[in-house]
């Protein structure tokens, strides 16, 4: 490339005049090309993560700038994925930055036809109240054979395969202590 | 694998580059088939016949790895002469009770030696009430338990005794000839024998073969026995515990392995300890003995320490030796409390509240209509997710709102939809499919009111405890005494709403000394006197030396291929389970190319490329002293250290509800009669027969084949994730796969008048779903039992929500379950396929009911489950009583 702006900057012309006949080198570069930098270079920090989709466990690098996720890439150091991600893993930046994500608690009252918004701590109070009430209303000290069971059959839960081990640990610990036993996840499905 | 686990598949391609032969057995030609050397199309639901055929090929031609088989498996064990196999009993094993449709496994046990008589009786007694075991999915505990058989059954290492496992197995599979495989599976004899050749030639001292399955294999009424069949074959060929061998389960969610190890499951506590059962675990010692089974070999002998450490982790200072460490605080299970039973209970109005945490059963569970009708009959529902998923909106836009079965103004369920934090907005560990934990760092704060589950459940527990403070009610003690004090951080910590420390929780899971707080280096340090606590014994060591071992990220370029310093695998960072089997009985590598773990004579210890999955200092020559049990009874040649006899189980006398060996049964819905036996399907399967769960008819019913003539199956697309909550709301993925479609062969398209890219719909007795027709030779009609069978394939990712919407395939399935683990049969069913779109509104229900009526199943008048002859049923029931004893010699003559 001559660098001059006065000539027709045809790529084809540049290819032949600059000796880059196949058009795979300098001939196809432009000022814009040179100005482009990867989103990763300006990141304030990189967090080590793991892909949230299937169970292969591909390591991810999460690039953060101004407290926003700007890019997610496979970690080339990982012995699992060697930097590669599949279409889903590659879309995980889109997953976490999507405008469609819920950011407010939504509440549907009995018999209502629409959602309404709820304040987070209010919603927590309401759920805690309902759990305690259902637990009380459905409590069993003994079963129909007179055996000690100490439980509620009124509260069930499903989920865990997408969660962290630490989260599953607290979920099972809390439900067990409150006497809820119908606790299940995708591993049964 | 290339479709659903593409990045894992790169290692298959690496192996191919190095000369490995790749065989893909699948009803449909996929990206995996395209890269394999051989694709074998198979009829859905016939896998045991296929694998049984290979087992037969190995046994008839003596192609097993004999030295491995004799030393490392239970091939030499002598089975009780009361055992009778399926061939003489029309498809039943001995000990069947037609009333409960379960087995008394007494006759399946190993023979008793005089001195072992007491123990043998204990084995049989321990087998317990199998109907109850089915309801509580007790077999699942065997993920880490193994069988609790006695340690020294009589053996014949020449493998000639007619009742030794090897000979029993050989007779069992003798009927699975290439001709029979062709008849049942629709696989040509040529294709089949090529698989047999490749598998056997690539196994032995110098070579190993890996068997990889995806967990659709588990979604069958005989799912556990599918995997057992794979295990038998891999053991016979010496492919277990060796590099390049094994059985790899490709699980489908980032931490589904973790959520099984630290279970959110009704029948398990962390580390595969059973949830106590009201019938058999009323005291701490009942519970512990139920796990460790005194007299057995192996590491479960220390179950007391594992159980007490868990109770101490749960109830802290309140748990003392005097009160049996608060064992009484654990609620007791009494039967089937699985997710499908619970959903039917919701329909019946027995459940008030339901939490859905990162799960979308309105689309992802079998029988979507039942799921949604259940949710519409609750007092309250809490949904925690990233998006407004179908399970949160069933009251306003579900298919049942269209049909008029759910009317918003009449639906009383109160719904809370809480926004959840994503994987980059919280820290913690996932356990991937090879048992490896990897710690994730938090990158950013979650948006708005989104919070982690750690936050939600910690604060829910805190608020409940605050509400109950001062209660004198005994039932509130477990909550009030709970060890629920985790350090909080983040901006909201000062107001009491901070984020709990995931590191603190992981430390509790790892375990520590109560007095000093010193973190344990592994489960070997767990004490049964309350001086240590630890929430999940198999994860103990993840915080060894006070270091978060799961956060290790040493570059793959700076360590060996085994990569022991990337993350941390349970147990004790062992990357390949049972790897003592990678060395011969004397402790030497089977061959130089397959050297992995071996005995170092000079150092007098096990060493190698991995952490030995064996006591480091126990020499190969070690033999157990007379009368020993537990860890001391594991001999130097017992690689399978969690099994009650230290051997790989070719034959499983305990732990399985449906038989000691896999045998071919037809799927619950099948157009074919069972070619081998009168017993059509798995006789012990779990069924819920009720009018809202109709099953397509048995092929013996007149006219059944005309109403639902085709077989269908489902699987994932590369671009979508299960029930779609993490992909249909993501622009790139929605654009890549925008629409529900149905794959059919050109022959079926011609038969039914289906037009490529036009509409069609698929009908079962539960529902009808529509999609675009994709006519493709990826599916081929197969010849089965002398006639042509068409198979239909569908992805199952759509629902009414998201950027791209469509009908949900899982609506087509009914509910019938594997008896061992209570997982539903949702990879095979029968159906009809018709051109055009399905009816909408109330007409949809009329249309589906019309089909059910014509098939004769509208009023749940499905045929009997037990179809073996009455005579066979009687003889099976009698066999356990000794009324029908044969000597082994007589049996041989029959």
Q: Which domain holds residue A124?
A: 102-128
Considering only CB atoms, A125 lies closest to which of B392, B457, B463, namely B463
> Which of B250, B281, B313 lies at the terminal end of a domain, its last residue?
B250
Q: Is residue B644 over pLDDT 50?
A: yes
Which of B142-146, B148-152, B267-271: highest mean pLDDT?
Answer: B267-271
Q: Is residue B435 over pLDDT 50?
A: yes
> Which of B205, B221, B250 lies at the terminal end of a domain, its last residue?
B250
Range with lowest mean pLDDT among B136-145, B260-269, B681-690, B804-813: B136-145
Q: Which residues of B touch A75 (CB under 8 A)?
A: 553
Considering only CB atoms, B259 lies closest to which of A74, A92, A163, namely A163
Q: Which domain holds residue B840?
A: 686-855
Task: Enumerate residues 6+ apart whose C-beta is below 8 A from B628.
Answer: B151
| Residue B762 Cα distances to B220, B335, B706, B815, angstroms | 20, 35, 14, 18
Give the pLDDT band (50/70/90) at residue B147. Answer: low
Closest Cα in chain B, distance from residue A149 (Å):
5
Give the chain B residue nearest A116 (alpha carbons): B416
Region of B821 on the Ramachandran plot (φ > 0 left; ψ -120 to 50 alpha; else beta): alpha
Q: Is residue B149 over pLDDT 80?
A: no
Q: Which residues of A touch B262 (CB under 8 A)?
A: 165, 168-169, 172
Q: How many Cβ atoms sit within 10 Å of the Cβ of residue B706?
A: 10
SS3 content of chain B, % helix, strand, coil (to 5): 35, 15, 50
Q: Which residues of A touch B223 (CB under 8 A)?
A: none
At B704, is the secondary structure helix, strand, or coil? helix
Q: How many Cβ atoms sit within 10 Å of the Cβ of residue B210?
A: 18
Q: Are B255 and A161 in contact (CB under 8 A)?
A: yes
Mean pLDDT within B853-869:
86
Q: Kindly state whether residue B667 falls inside one of the protein's structural domains.
A: no
Give the pLDDT band (50/70/90) at residue B685. Answer: very high
Closest Cα in chain B, distance from residue A124 (Å):
7
Q: How many Cβ atoms sit within 10 Å of the Cβ of residue B546?
A: 12
Closest Cα in chain A, distance from residue B515 (Å):
22
Q: Is residue A4 over pLDDT 60?
A: no
Closest Cα in chain B, distance from residue A44 (Å):
11
Residue whose C-alpha is closest to residue B172's, from B262, B275, B48: B48
Closest Cα in chain B, distance from residue A21 (Å):
34
**pLDDT tens sequence across B584-617:** 999 999 999 999 999 999 999 999 999 999 999 9
Instruction: Please check whether residues A49 and A93 belong to one and the same domain.
Output: yes
Per-residue model confidence (pLDDT) at position A6: 54
> Which of B250, B282, B309 lies at the terminal end of a domain, its last residue?
B250
Number of independent structural domains in chain A: 4
Check CB contact under 8 Å for B358 and A163. Answer: yes
Give the chain B residue nearest A153 (alpha carbons): B351
Q: Kindly state whether residue B840 falls inside one of the protein's structural domains.
A: yes
Q: Is residue B676 over pLDDT 90?
A: yes
Instruction: Please check whether residues A107 and A70 belong to one and the same domain.
Output: no
Per-residue model confidence (pLDDT) at position A150: 97
Give the pLDDT band (50/70/90) at residue B890. Answer: very low
Number of independent structural domains in chain B: 2
39-68 in chain A: CB under 8 A from chain B: 45, 47-59, 62, 64, 67-68
Mean pLDDT within B627-634:
87
Across chain B, mean pLDDT equals 94
| Two tokens, residue B62 | 């003596």
Tell me if chain A has a CB within 8 Å of the CB of B432: yes
Q: Is residue B886 over pLDDT 50?
A: no
159-178 in chain A: CB under 8 A from chain B: 159-174, 176-178
DSSP state of B575: S
Considering only CB atoms, A53 lies closest to which of B338, B726, B731, namely B726
In whole angstroms, what is the distance from residue B214 CA to residue B227 CA? 11
Q: Are B502 and B458 in contact (CB under 8 A)?
A: no
Q: Which residues of A touch B429 (CB under 8 A)?
A: 164-166
Q: Kindly state whether residue B535 falls inside one of the protein's structural domains.
A: no
Considering only CB atoms, A57 lies closest to which of B339, B433, B451, namely B433
Q: Kindly state whether residue A184 falls inside one of the protein's structural domains.
A: yes
Closest Cα in chain B, distance from residue A78 (Å):
6
Give the chain A residue nearest B482 (alpha carbons): A177
In whole angstroms, what is the distance from residue B175 CA to residue B52 CA? 9
Mean pLDDT within A171-181:
98
Q: Which residues of A touch B821 (CB under 8 A)?
A: 188
Q: Kindly state whether residue B61 falls inside one of the protein's structural domains.
A: yes
Q: Which residues of B touch A90 (CB under 8 A)?
A: 732
Check CB contact under 8 Å for A106 and B563. Answer: no
At A125, is the secondary structure helix, strand, or coil? helix
DSSP state of B501: P
Give the chain A residue nearest B725 (alpha carbons): A95
In whole angstroms, what is the distance from residue B94 CA to residue B107 CA? 7
Domain containing residue B797: CATH number: 2.40.40.20
Give the pLDDT band (50/70/90) at residue B83. Answer: very high
620-679 in chain B: CB under 8 A from chain A: none
Q: Kindly state whether residue A133 falls inside one of the protein's structural domains.
A: no
Instruction: Please check whether residues A173 and A154 belong to one and the same domain.
Output: yes
Instruction: Please check whether residues A24 and A3 belong to one and the same domain.
Output: yes
Give the chain A residue nearest B563 (alpha carbons): A79
**pLDDT tens sequence across B778-803:** 999 999 999 999 999 999 999 999 99
466-495 in chain B: CB under 8 A from chain A: 467-468, 475, 478-479, 482, 484
At B363, is the secondary structure helix, strand, or coil? helix
Domain containing residue B10: CATH number: 3.40.228.10
Q: Kindly state whether residue A107 falls inside one of the protein's structural domains.
A: yes
Sign of the alpha-carbon dihedral angle for B86, B89, B95, B97: positive
Exposed e or buried b for every residue in B141-151, given b needs 16+ CB within 10 A?
A: bbbbbbbbbbb
**pLDDT tens sequence across A123-170:** 999 999 999 999 999 999 999 999 999 999 999 999 999 999 999 999
Check CB contact under 8 Å for A54 and B505. Answer: no
Q: Kindly state whether residue A170 falls inside one of the protein's structural domains.
A: yes
Give the chain B residue nearest A119 (alpha carbons): B449
Q: Which residues of A touch B274 (CB under 8 A)?
A: none
Closest Cα in chain A, distance from residue B637 (Å):
32
Q: Kindly state whether residue B95 falls inside one of the protein's structural domains.
A: no
**pLDDT tens sequence across B405-432:** 999 999 999 999 999 999 999 999 999 9
Q: Kindly state whether residue A17 falls inside one of the protein's structural domains.
A: yes
Mean pLDDT within A35-47:
91
Per-residue model confidence (pLDDT) at position B141: 60
Q: Are B575 and B611 in contact (CB under 8 A)?
A: yes
Phi, psi of B739 (to 5 degrees): -145, 145
**pLDDT tens sequence across A85-111:** 999 999 999 999 999 999 999 999 999
Bridge partners (DSSP) of residue B762 are B769, B833
For chain B, give the percent of residues with pLDDT over 70: 95
For chain B, give the percent of residues with pLDDT over 90: 88
Instruction: Please check whether residues A142 and A159 belong to one and the same domain.
Output: yes
Per-residue model confidence (pLDDT) at position B151: 56
């Amino acid at each position: 490339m001559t660098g001059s702006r006065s000539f027709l900057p045809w790529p084809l012309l540049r290819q032949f005049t600059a000796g880059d006949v196949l058009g795979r080198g300098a001939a196809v570069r432009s000022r814009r090309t040179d100005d482009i930098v990867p989103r990763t270079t300006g990141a304030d920090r990189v967090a080590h993560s793991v892909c949230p989709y299937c169970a292969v466990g591909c390591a991810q690098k999460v690039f953060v700038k101004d407290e926003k996720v700007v890019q997610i890439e496979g970690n080339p150091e990982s012995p699992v994925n060697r930097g590669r991600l599949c279409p889903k893993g590659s879309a995980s930046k889109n997953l976490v930055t999507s405008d469609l994500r819920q950011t407010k608690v939504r509440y549907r009252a009995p018999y209502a036809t629409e959602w309404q918004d709820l304040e987070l701590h209010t919603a927590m109070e309401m759920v805690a109240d309902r759990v305690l009430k259902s637990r009380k209303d459905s409590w069993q000290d003994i079963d129909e054979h007179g055996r000690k069971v100490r439980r509620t059959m009124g509260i069930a839960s499903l989920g865990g395969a997408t969660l962290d081990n630490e989260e599953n640990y607290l979920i099972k610990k809390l439900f067990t202590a409150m006497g809820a036993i119908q606790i299940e996840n995708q591993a049964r499905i | 694998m290339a479709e659903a686990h593409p990045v894992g598949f790169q290692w298959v391609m690496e192996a191919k580059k190095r000369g490995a032969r790749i065989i893909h057995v699948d009803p449909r030609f996929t990206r995996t088939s395209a890269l394999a050397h051989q694709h074998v199309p198979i009829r859905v639901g016939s896998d045991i016949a296929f694998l049984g055929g290979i087992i037969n090929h190995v046994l008839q031609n003596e192609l097993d790895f004999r030295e491995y088989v004799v030393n490392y498996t239970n091939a030499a064990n002598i089975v009780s002469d009361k055992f009778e196999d399926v061939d003489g009993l029309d498809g039943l094993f001995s000990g069947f009770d037609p009333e409960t449709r379960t087995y008394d496994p007494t006759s399946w046990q190993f023979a008793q030696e005089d001195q072992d008589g007491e123990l043998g009786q204990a084995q049989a007694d321990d087998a317990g009430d199998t109907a109850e075991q089915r309801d509580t999915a007790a077999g699942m505990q065997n993920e880490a338990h193994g069988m609790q058989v006695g340690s020294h059954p009589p053996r014949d290492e020449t493998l000639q005794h007619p009742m030794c496992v090897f000979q029993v197995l050989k007779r069992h599979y003798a009927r699975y000839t290439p001709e029979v495989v062709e008849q049942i599976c629709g696989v040509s004899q040529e294709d089949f024998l090529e698989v047999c050749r490749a598998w056997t030639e690539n196994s032995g001292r110098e070579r190993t073969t890996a068997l990889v399955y995806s967990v659709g294999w588990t979604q069958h009424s005989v799912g556990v026995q599918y995997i057992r069949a794979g295990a038998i074959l891999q053991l016979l060929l010496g492919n277990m515990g060796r590099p390049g061998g094994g059985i790899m389960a490709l699980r489908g969610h980032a931490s589904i392995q973790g959520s099984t190890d630290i279970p959110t499951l009704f029948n398990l506590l962390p580390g595969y300890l059973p949830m106590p059962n009201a019938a058999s675990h009323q005291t701490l010692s009942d519970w512990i003995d139920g796990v460790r089974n005194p007299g057995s070999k192996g590491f479960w002998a220390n179950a007391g320490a594992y159980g007490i450490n868990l109770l101490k982790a749960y109830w802290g200072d309140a748990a003392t030796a005097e009160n049996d460490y608060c064992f009484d605080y654990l609620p007791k299970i009494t039967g089937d409390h699985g997710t499908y039973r619970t959903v039917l209970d919701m329909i019946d109005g027995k459940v008030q509240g339901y939490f859905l945490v990162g799960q979308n059963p309105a689309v992802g569970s079998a029988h979507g209509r039942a799921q949604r009708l259940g949710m519409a009959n609750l007092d309250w529902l809490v949904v925690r997710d990233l998006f407004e998923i179908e399970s949160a909106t069933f009251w306003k836009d579900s298919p049942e709102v269209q049909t008029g079965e759910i009317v918003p103004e009449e639906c009383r369920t109160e719904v809370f939809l809480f926004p959840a934090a994503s994987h980059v907005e919280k820290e913690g560990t996932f356990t991937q499919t090879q048992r490896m934990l990897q710690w994730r760092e938090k990158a950013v704060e979650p948006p708005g009111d989104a919070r982690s589950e750690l936050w939600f459940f910690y604060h829910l527990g805190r608020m409940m405890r605050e509400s109950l403070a001062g209660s004198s009610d005994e039932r509130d003690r477990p909550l009030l005494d709970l060890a629920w004090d985790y350090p909080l951080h983040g901006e909201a910590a000062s107001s009491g709403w901070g984020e709990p420390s995931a590191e603190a929780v992981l430390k509790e899971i790892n375990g520590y000394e109560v007095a000093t707080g010193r973190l344990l280096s592994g489960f070997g340090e767990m004490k049964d006197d309350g001086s240590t606590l630890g929430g999940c014994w198999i994860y103990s060591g993840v915080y060894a030396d006070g270091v978060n071992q799961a956060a290790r990220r040493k570059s793959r370029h700076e360590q060996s291929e085994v990569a022991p310093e990337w993350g941390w695998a349970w147990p004790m960072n062992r990357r390949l389970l049972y790897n003592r089997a990678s060395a011969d009985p004397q402790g030497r590598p089977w061959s130089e190319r397959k050297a992995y773990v071996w005995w170092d004579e000079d150092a007098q210890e096990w060493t190698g490329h991995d952490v030995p999955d064996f006591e480091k200092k126990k020499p190969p020559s070690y033999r157990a002293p007379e009368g020993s049990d537990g860890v001391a009874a594991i001999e130097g040649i017992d690689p399978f250290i969690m099994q009650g006899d230290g051997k790989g189980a070719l034959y499983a006398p305990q732990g399985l509800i449906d038989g000691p060996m896999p045998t071919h049964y037809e799927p619950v819905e099948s157009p074919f009669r069972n070619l081998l036996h009168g017993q059509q399907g798995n006789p012990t399967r779990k069924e819920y027969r009720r009018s809202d769960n109709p099953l397509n008819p048995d092929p013996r019913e007149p006219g059944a084949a005309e109403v639902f003539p085709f077989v269908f199956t489902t699987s994932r697309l590369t671009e979508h994730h299960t029930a779609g909550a993490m992909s249909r709301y993501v622009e790139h993925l929605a654009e890549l796969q925008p629409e529900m479609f149905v794959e059919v062969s050109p022959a079926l398209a011609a038969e039914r008048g289906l037009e490529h890219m036009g509409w069609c719909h698929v009908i079962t007795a539960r529902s009808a779903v529509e999609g675009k027709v994709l006519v493709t030779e990826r599916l081929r009609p197969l010849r089965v039992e002398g006639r042509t069978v068409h198979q239909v394939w569908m992805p199952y990712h759509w629902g009414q929500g998201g950027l791209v919407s469509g009908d949900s395939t899982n609506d087509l399935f009914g509910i019938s379950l594997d008896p061992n683990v209570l997982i539903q049969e949702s990879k095979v069913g029968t159906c009809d396929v018709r051109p055009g779109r399905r009816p909408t509104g109330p007409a949809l229900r009329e249309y589906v009911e019309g089909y059910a009526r014509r098939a004769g199943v509208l009023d749940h008048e499905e045929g009997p489950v037990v179809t073996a002859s009455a005579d066979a049923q009687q003889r099976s029931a009698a066999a356990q009583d000794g009324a029908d004893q044969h000597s082994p010699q007589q049996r041989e003559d029959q």
